[in-house]
Amino acid sequence: MGTRVAAALKDAALAGFVALVLAFPLVGFATNDEGGPSLAIHTRFTWVLLGGAGVFAARLVLTVLRALLPHLVKVGRSNSPARLAGPRRHGARLFGALLVAFAIALPFLPFSSRYLVDLGTTVLIYIMLGWGLNVVVGLAGLLDLGYVAFYAVGAYSFALIARWYGLGFWEALPLSGLLSASFGVLLGFPVLRLRGDYLAIVTLGFGEIVRIVLLNWTDVTGGPNGIAGVPRPTFFGLVLLPRAPNGGATFSQFFGLSFSPDQRIDFLYFVILALALVTNAFSLRLRRLPIGRAWEALREDEIACRALGIDPTRVKLSAFAIGAMLGGFAGAFFATRQGFISPESFTFQESATILAIVVLGGMGSQMGVVLAAILLVTFPEFGRAFAEFRMLLFGAAMVAIMVWRPRGLLAQRAPSVRLRAAAVAVEAT
Amino acid sequence: MLLEVEHLSIRFGGLLAVDDLSFAAEAGQITAIIGPNGAGKTTVFNCLTGFYRPSVGRLALERDGVTHYLERMDGYRIARDAGLARTFQNIRLFAGMTVLENLVVAQHAPLMRASAFSLAGLLGLPGYRRAETHAIEKSCAWLDRIGLLARADDAAGNLPYGAQRRLEIARAMCTDPALLCLDEPAAGLNARETGELMALLRAIRDETGIGILLIEHDMRLVMGVSDRVVVLNYGQKIADGPPDAVRHDAAVIKAYLGEEDAA
Amino acid sequence: MAYFLQQLINGLTLGAVYGLIAIGYTMVYGIIGMINFAHGEIYMIGAFISFLAFLVLGALGLASVPLALFAVLLIAMAFTAVYGWAVERLAYRPLRGSFRLAPLISAIGMSIFLQNYVQLLQGARVKSLPPVVTGGFRIMEQGGFVVQMSWLQLMIIVLTVALMAGFSVVISATPLGRAQRACEQDMRMAQLSGIDVDRVVALTFVMGAALAAVAGLMVMLYYGVIDFFIGFLAGVKAFTAAVLGGIGSLPGAILGGLLIGLIEAFWSGYFASGYKDVSVFGVLILVLIFRPTGLLGRPEVEKV
């Protein structure tokens, strides 16, 4: 026992020492930037010591935990197949249903406010993006680091279609989706034969190329200024404005309500909620179809897929297309919500954020993506410090998740077909 | 003639892995390819299944009156159109998916057709649902046959080794092949399991009438189950005939140099 | 002609920097078969440490420029090397043997973490340093355009050549280099032969990080400004260089670095510079699609 304590202390001391070394230059010194750029520096050695001490303590705690609860803190080596969800899905389904009910009721709840509904709208956009990327990364196992490209194509295509052809949101939405899907196929073609790492880098390159083009092709995309005046969605033709632009009734007039800007906020919220619910149903359904199974089989073992007569090209392209289409829908909605778009919203950071959502939620899990998106979007709202530390913590979380639980926090893979359930279906037909 | 291999050669850089190999495999028969390690057996398989492109040679597979030239086809087309199914030396199951799902995935092609690019599937049309039910029934029939029906909903990766081997064979059979290619199916199996495997192979051969081509080191299996044996050594064929003839062939004995299993 | 020559000099300087970073990518890929996505941030950290070291030394009263340069070089290499070691230890070693995507995702997470780490500690603003190494010499003049090379450019190229030469010697002639090459070929066998694989891998990361630190220092001196975001772009470009030259090949990384530097310099010299990054991404995509083994790399045959 004594030697184990000594070993643990030595190990923690080493960790603490390394932390001190790491912290010394970057934590220990900083320029006095408060008034403006300057070359004078001040020292923060107390922070360095705190950092070292903190790491020492954390390492010690980790060692103790590992000794006490070995299976909980087991690290890495996770080539074992994912745990499969048991038949007792009732709990999960109930939770899902409650979440949906809460979401529908949100604008009407007593503690609700414009701010909260806005936040909910942002959460739902990220949920849609997460589900879209989930098809590509989680189901098909293709690590796409440039997903933001499809988000951008959806947004810009909607803005441009509205500007050039005067179409409204509902008419342009399917077109945006179609364009994004085509883009997905276009971007998918070159990466078909690439392995995981290379595929990731190439998709990253594509994402960056799209952003640079958006930034520089000023004639079409408006360059850094983007495109303004993107039309808002209508409620079956009724606009949600104080006055209808071309005559005709407004939403509030039609329903005999007095106009309030909250109506538009709430309406946008319900639009994205509806889109999200349809996306969810669509994704769940696809997973049970041969194409969904083929995606997962491809992720498991591409060579075995080929040996079974499955065309990897077609399967990969369909994953890209569907994922891109969903991203495009989210992009179109994003454009209509903001009223204007610019390349700033479509950086690699966005792709990384969406990836973080999918990874943390457990690649392949619908509910996991929801929870991770809620966490990611609401986190900075708790305070200034949280906002600053958000991406830092998410980066650390990604590393931690991969090391500790590579299949994500919530990943229990629900099989796409179950014998017991199937037996019932067989009897019914 | 189900499969006809003519003058197959493949070269990797300076190494001639397979040298002017010709043999045939018939439907309703089990043909075994044997030979010392490094003789080129798996290389032949890889050529047949489209993982390698032969330098020279013709690989003709006949199915439903159509001849498919495998040396020119993509891997997945060989499986889907020519009807050549294969298992692997290191089992390649979809470990994270269930036993049942593994078999249903194998029926991807007919299910995809029935789902009309997923549209019929999305709408839940009866034509697709019938196809899915049929696929599940077929999978269950195979699971029952290999004794894994009770474990249909378990993750394939959690099965014991012998069960995984059987599952991989069942999965290959679910693609409705004309020729089943098995790469060392008895590797790692004990005597009892090997006996069960032999029974399974004979049953498949007799009931479905397809051809089976297998690579094996286990001589008991090879001699016990094969209708024809092809022997390779250093990429060349040194014997080709019924098991008894091959067993006593001088060149074969020399190649193995006393490694012959007196099973 | 003169203009061309100037772009050539600029390109070679840039290429030297990319080559230094690319070596880190290619070595790590050669030995553990993974892209160290966080390597760009290591380079950025090297730049920041160099920046701070200069300020500290200046505040302490060190006036001699050559001495300061030498000291900063050592300091930056040392500290950045520790960062490189830590990244491997935390984000890669636990995942050796895990499924393919895991180390890549972990690396991306580490990259995000390091970027934000520096941003929070040092501020999001651009840091600038007055020129430390100044002056140069003219090479030729043609039609009113003067082709010149600054002392800094010369220093960068000479230092890079020296480092790469030294590095090649280490790889080919020392026990560590041999152990490294053994691990590249067959890690399990190397382990069974008694090589401490963990140590060799760690040292690989450390060496790559040290070279990246030199690149960071050079860039800081050359452009005079740094910010927490330079790692991303430089990282992708250096990775492109490594792939172009043939990933896993040391001379390939050097060659690739030079080519990328030249491509970038000539593109921004002759075409719209707004799209200059697109040129590099374009090269990356074309190489990965049409010749993934690069110019000097060895082809991989997949075993079935």
Higher pLDDT, residue C297 or A395: A395
Residues of A with CB under 8 A from a CB of B: 80-82, 84, 282, 285-286, 289-291, 293-294, 296-297, 300-301, 303-312, 413, 415-420, 422, 425-426, 429
Q: Do B12 and C301 touch (CB under 8 A)?
A: yes
- Residue B106 to chain A, least CA–CA distance (Å): 6
B99 and B32 belong to one structural domain: no
Predicted local confidence at residue A66, as pLDDT? 82
Give the CATH number for residue B4.
3.40.50.300
> Looking at the DSSP assignment, which residues form a beta bridge with residue B240?
B230
Higher pLDDT, residue A197 or B43: B43
Q: Do A201 and C79 touch (CB under 8 A)?
A: no
Higher pLDDT, residue C77 or C301: C77
B144 and B202 belong to one structural domain: no
SS3 of A333, please? helix
A-chain residue closest to C243, CA distance = A198
**Mean pLDDT within C124-147:** 80
Q: How far apart are CA C214 and CA C211, in angstroms?
A: 5
Split at pLDDT 50, 70, 90, the class of B91 is very high
**In this predicted model, what pLDDT tens digit does every residue of B95-134 receive, in sequence order?**
889 999 999 999 999 998 888 777 777 787 888 889 999 9
DSSP code for A172: H
Q: Is B2 exposed, middle or buried (0-12, 13-18, 19+ CB in 10 A)?
A: buried
Predicted local confidence at residue A425, as pLDDT? 47
Q: How far apart are CA B134 and CA B140, in angstroms?
A: 10
Whether the per-residue pLDDT at B263 is higher than 50: the answer is no
Q: Do B51 and C301 touch (CB under 8 A)?
A: no
Q: Which two tokens stand for residue A331?
A: 């992009």
Q: Do A309 and B108 touch (CB under 8 A)?
A: yes
Quick one: which H or E segment has residue C55?
helix C39-59
Residues of chain A with pLDDT under 70: 33-38, 71-90, 243-249, 407-412, 420-429
Q: Do B12 and C304 touch (CB under 8 A)?
A: no
Predicted local confidence at residue A408, as pLDDT? 58
Q: How many CB atoms lie within 10 A of CB C180?
A: 23
Within 8 A of A82 by CB-CB distance, chain B residues are 96, 155
Predicted local confidence at residue A274, as pLDDT? 93
Tally of structural domains, chain B: 2
SS3 of B63, please? strand
C255-278 in b/e form (b: 16+ CB < 10 A) is: bbbbbbbbbbbbbbbeeeeebbbb
B256 and B215 belong to one structural domain: yes
**In this predicted model, what pLDDT tens digit does every residue of C10-57 receive, in sequence order?**
899 999 999 999 999 998 988 888 889 999 999 999 999 999 998 888
Q: Where are the CATH 1.10.3470 domain residues in chain A?
A: 111-411
Q: Do A78 and C102 touch (CB under 8 A)?
A: yes
Q: How far apart are CA A118 and CA A178, in angstroms?
A: 27
- Residue A413 to chain C, least CA–CA distance (Å): 16
A-chain residue closest to B114, CA distance = A290
Backbone phi, psi, residue A299, to 5°: -65, -40
Q: Which two tokens stand for residue B16?
A: 């001639």
A-chain residue closest to B174, CA distance = A308
Predicted local confidence at residue B258, as pLDDT? 53
Q: Do A290 and B112 touch (CB under 8 A)?
A: yes
Q: Do B100 and A291 touch (CB under 8 A)?
A: no
B105 and B216 belong to one structural domain: no
Mean pLDDT for chain B overall: 89
Predicted local confidence at residue A84, as pLDDT? 61
What is A75-139 written as a DSSP string?
-S---SPPPBP-S--HHHHHHHHHHHHHHHHGGGSTT--HHHHHHHHHHHHHHHHHHHHIIIIII
Quickly list H helices, A134-191.
148-165, 169-191
Which chains neighbour B (Cβ–Cβ under 8 Å, 3 or more pairs)?
Answer: A, C
- B92, B119, B128, B159: best mutation site toward chain A, by most A Cβ within 10 Å? B92
Q: Do C278 and A402 touch (CB under 8 A)?
A: no
Predicted local confidence at residue B78, as pLDDT? 92
- CATH code for A111-411? 1.10.3470
Q: Do B95 and A300 touch (CB under 8 A)?
A: yes
Predicted local confidence at residue C149, as pLDDT? 85
Q: Do B88 and C301 touch (CB under 8 A)?
A: no
Q: Do A30 and C101 touch (CB under 8 A)?
A: no
ipTM rounded to 2 decimals: 0.90
Higher pLDDT, residue A210 or C280: A210
At which of B175, B205, B221 does a domain end?
A: B175
B182 and B79 belong to one structural domain: yes
B104 and B171 belong to one structural domain: yes
At which of B114, B146, B175 does a domain end?
A: B175
Q: Is C118 at the interface with chain A, CB within 8 A?
A: yes
Within 8 A of A26 by CB-CB distance, chain C residues are 45, 48-49, 52, 117-118, 121-122
Split at pLDDT 50, 70, 90, the class of B250 is confident
Predicted local confidence at residue A292, as pLDDT? 92
Q: Which of A377, A264, A270, A282 is nearest to A326 (CA)?
A: A282
Q: Which of residues 208-237 of A touch C (CB under 8 A)?
A: 208-209, 212-213, 215-216
Q: Do A296 and B156 touch (CB under 8 A)?
A: no
Whether the per-residue pLDDT at B15 is higher than 50: the answer is yes
Predicted local confidence at residue A335, as pLDDT? 93
Place of tokens 């020729």: B179
- C298, C302, C304: best mutation site toward chain B, by most B Cβ within 10 Å? C304
Task: Identify which of B100, B137, B154 has the shortest CB distance to residue A417.
Answer: B100
B170 and B204 belong to one structural domain: no
B199 and B76 belong to one structural domain: yes
C209-231 in b/e form (b: 16+ CB < 10 A) is: bbbbbbbbbbbbbbeeebbbbbb
* A·C CB contacts under 8 A: 186
- Would you say the C-alpha torsion A303, A308, A314, A318 has a positive or negative sign? negative
Residues 6 or more apart from C29 whose CB is under 8 A from it?
Answer: C35, C36, C242, C247, C248
Give the CA dihedral C68, C70, C72, C77, nearest 10 degrees: 180
- The parent domain of residue B30 ranges over 1-83+178-263
A-chain residue closest to C285, CA distance = A202
Q: How far apart are CA B17 and CA B46, in angstroms?
A: 12
Nearest-5° Cα angle at A371, A368 to A372: 85
Q: Do A395 and C109 touch (CB under 8 A)?
A: yes
